[in-house]
């Protein structure tokens, strides 16, 4: 290959490199300068939407990333109001990233609660099924008054379990976990009385 052809190829390679750098760098520089892309106000609104979504997933002020994101969003608004739009844009970017982090943390916490609540519901359902069998077995051959008493016990057990099942169906997993102990105590007491009735 001639030296002229080598020089031409080198120049073409240099020009291609410069063109690539311009294609990548110019839009970034224009956006950094605020000449293209979303306005600082739109950046702040985007950050606030990310924080609002995190709140809807269960994030709150007790969560570090949500709290820090809300503080950054407020700071971004103050910076924009004082005319420091570039700093406001950067604060909004940090707030948005923290909002997304808060969303992930809230969803992970919700999934953990859901799994624990699902385990509680399955356990209560199995216990209720055992109580139904125990009731069917021990309510036979007893007098009307005793049968009525045992039926009242079963209604109490079903109601306690039903409240937990309803909370789970409504996605109130923390409420399920809050009610688990009281429901378990009711079912234990009903079991004891059903078993005692079977020994009479």
C-alpha torsion angle, residues 110, 113, 114, 119 (rounded to 10): 170
Sequence spans of domains, the chain: 112-198
Q: What is the pLDDT of residue 141?
A: 74
Residue 160: other Cβ atoms inside 10 A: 20
Q: What is the pLDDT of residue 15?
A: 67
Q: What is the pLDDT of residue 52?
A: 94
Q: Are 129 and 154 in contact (CB under 8 A)?
A: no
CA dist 67 and 24 (Å) reads: 35
- From first to last of its 200 residues, the chain has per-residue pLDDT tens of 567 565 756 766 666 666 676 565 555 555 555 555 578 899 999 999 999 999 998 888 889 999 999 999 999 999 999 989 889 999 999 999 999 999 999 999 999 999 999 999 999 999 999 999 999 888 777 788 888 898 999 999 999 999 999 999 999 999 999 999 999 999 999 999 988 886 76
Cα end-to-end distance, the chain, whole Å:
109
Query: Across the chain, how many H-helices and E-strands are there?
Result: 6, 0
CA dist 172 and 163 (Å) reads: 11
Taking the whole predicted model, whether its pTM rises above 0.75 is answered as no
């Amino acid at each position: 290959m001639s030296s002229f052809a080598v020089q031409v190829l080198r120049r073409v390679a240099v020009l291609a490199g410069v063109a690539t750098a311009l294609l990548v760098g110019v839009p970034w520089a224009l956006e950094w300068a605020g000449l293209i892309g979303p306005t600082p106000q739109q950046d702040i609104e985007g950050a606030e939407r990310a924080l609002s979504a995190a709140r809807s997933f269960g994030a709150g002020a007790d969560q570090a990333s949500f709290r820090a994101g809300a503080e950054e969003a407020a700071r971004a608004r103050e910076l924009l109001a004082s005319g420091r739009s570039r700093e406001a844009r950067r604060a909004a970017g940090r707030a948005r990233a923290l909002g997304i982090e808060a969303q992930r943390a809230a969803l992970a916490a919700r999934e953990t609660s859901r799994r624990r609540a699902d385990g509680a519901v399955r356990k209560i359902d199995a216990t209720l099924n055992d109580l139904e069998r125990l009731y069917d077995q021990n309510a036979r051959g007893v007098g009307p008054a005793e049968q009525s008493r045992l039926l009242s016990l079963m209604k109490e057990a079903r109601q306690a379990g039903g409240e937990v099942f309803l909370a789970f169906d409504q996605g109130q997993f923390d409420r399920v976990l809050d009610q688990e102990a009281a429901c378990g105590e009711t079912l234990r007491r009903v079991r004891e009385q059903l078993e005692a009735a079977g020994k009479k």
